[in-house]
Amino acid sequence: MASLLEEYRAPLARAPLSPESRRTYLSKVRQFLAWLGAAALDGDPLADAAARDWAVRDYRSHLQVVAKAAPATVNGAVAAVDDFYARRGLGPARAERVELPRQAPRALDKRASLRLLRAVEAHLAPRNRALVGVLFYAGARISEAVRLDVDDVRLSARKGTLRLLGKGGKVREVPVHAQLRTDLALWLEERPNWPNPDGTSALFLNQRGERLSVRGASDLVAAIAEAAGLDDETTAHILRHTFATTLVRGGADLVLVAELLGHARLETTR
């Protein structure tokens, strides 16, 4: 199974995907192969299409029943496994995706938003304040936030823009909120004092001076949300949707909101 994973790693590295997507696919395929190695299956799911289909369906059931994974997580795992089989030449499995609940993503209400912002203001680390601001005030996906380089930030005395690289390599520019402009300026002033042995151009660094990972950024958001005393789990995705909800409730045109969020389809925003 380890050799199969290495065989998959090479073509995946050449695929037109973001580094985060490659890491996610590799991790999910690793988990599938680990399960495959321990499962009692009929036929050869790595060579036979029928055995492949049954194996993927069984794995989907394992994720739902045993791992109790969320529908979106299950579908993400099946998508990665399909990519694995497609690159092996066997093609994707005949396994239906789990139906997702049709409901709007949760956003923070005004009271929770205020508590979060107070916790951010009380935070002494400029990097963390700027990171949360990029999510809350610019509606960036967390993968887009950690993908930012220093040159993607353009600030002046009264305004600024962020250049975000979204899904499918689509680039968009988002105006910088006044508070975010202050926090970004403070972080850019402090950033040269952080370790940076490889000279990375990443905007957000970890303690080793490397580009901050999605997981590391998620942990920082969770820590600040906990400091704010928010009752429910608050993720970067919820901050992004709080940004969108605030705009819509403020009367912003839906087309503009879709552009700021980087949505390819207006129906997604709706």
pLDDT tens-digit series, residues 174-200? 999 999 999 999 999 999 999 988 889
Q: What's the pLDDT at 193?
A: 93
Share of the chain above pLDDT 90, in %: 41
Task: Report which of 114, 65, 60 is spatially closest to residue 230, judged by C-alpha positions.
Answer: 114
pTM metric for this prediction? 0.65
The CATH architecture one would assign to domain 2-88 is Orthogonal Bundle (1.10)
DSSP state of 210: S
The pair phi, psi for residue 174, each rounded to 5°, is -120, 130
Question: Which secondary-structure segment (H or E) carries 175?
Answer: strand 171-175
The CATH architecture one would assign to domain 110-269 is Orthogonal Bundle (1.10)
Per-domain residue ranges of the chain? 2-88, 110-269
**What's the distance, Cα to Cα, between the start and end of the chain in Å?**
43
Q: What's the pLDDT at 101?
A: 63
DSSP state of 63: I
Task: Report which of 247, 19, 29 is spatially closest to residue 136, judged by C-alpha positions.
Answer: 247
Beta strands in 7-131 (DSSP E): none
Residue 49 burial by Cβ neighbours in a 10 Å radius (0-12, 13-18, 19+): middle
Task: Report which of 143, 147, 131 is spatially closest to residue 211, judged by C-alpha positions.
Answer: 147
What is d(CA 5, CA 84) in angstroms, rounded to the nearest whole number?
9
Q: How many Cβ atoms are within 10 Å of 71's Cβ, its own excluded?
A: 14
Band of residue 100 on the pLDDT scale cut at 50, 70, 90: low
